[in-house]
Amino acid sequence: MPVRTSDAKWQGDLKSGKGTVHLGSGAWEGQFNFSSRFEEGKGTNPEELIAAAHAGCFSMALSGGLSGAGFTVDSISTTAKVKVEPVPGGFEITQITLITEAKVPGIDKAAFDKIAAATKEGCPVSKALKAVPIELDAKLV
């Protein structure tokens, strides 16, 4: 299996410095700074990138779980919300919420909920982030 890489460069101190993140694939790069991370400033931040990774991983894994159970998946849309808050000694990611909507003909709510809950526990990014409470809001559309 491949090893995925990305890199970040930072210049300056925490409050007035600035950084750049590059995806190893070359598909994207973005700027980040204190304001984009801990306030509402322009730019990206590590938590937003974690959210993107988690949403993508969960959607793919849910598709796999549903397909493996014999269902045909029309579409899955997932939003991940990663909350970062000040705590004694710094900042911490305190909550992740996955909000997913799936169009899966022929599945009942109970079967969907069971597969979605198993996916929340089993997708590789969820496993990597298991130190953070993860909530799931899964809906059939």
- For residue 73, the domain's CATH number is 3.30.300.20
pLDDT for 1 equals 86
Claim to verify: residue 27 and residue 76 sit in the same structural domain? no
Claim to verify: residue 51 and residue 113 sit in the same structural domain? yes
Claim to verify: residue 57 and residue 120 sit in the same structural domain? yes
Domain membership of residue 73 (yes or no) is yes
pTM here is 0.94
Domain membership of residue 94 (yes or no) is yes
Average pLDDT over all residues of the chain: 97
pLDDT for 58 equals 98
- Is there a contact between 22 and 7 (Cβ–Cβ < 8 Å)? yes
Q: Which of 63, 52, 2 is nearest to 30 (CA)?
A: 52
Domain membership of residue 1 (yes or no) is no
Which residue range(s) make up the domain with 111? Answer: 47-140
- Is there a contact between 129 and 96 (Cβ–Cβ < 8 Å)? yes
pLDDT averages per 10-residue partition of the chain, 141 residues: 95 96 96 94 96 98 98 98 95 97 98 98 97 98 95
Mark residue 24 as left, alpha or beta (left: phi above 0; alpha: psi -120 to 50; beta: remaining).
alpha
- Is there a contact between 33 and 20 (Cβ–Cβ < 8 Å)? no
Claim to verify: residue 33 and residue 70 sit in the same structural domain? no
Instruction: Please report the beta strands in the chain, taking only residues with DSSP state E, as ranges in sequence order.
Output: 6-11, 18-23, 29-33, 75-87, 90-103, 134-140
> How many domains, the chain?
2
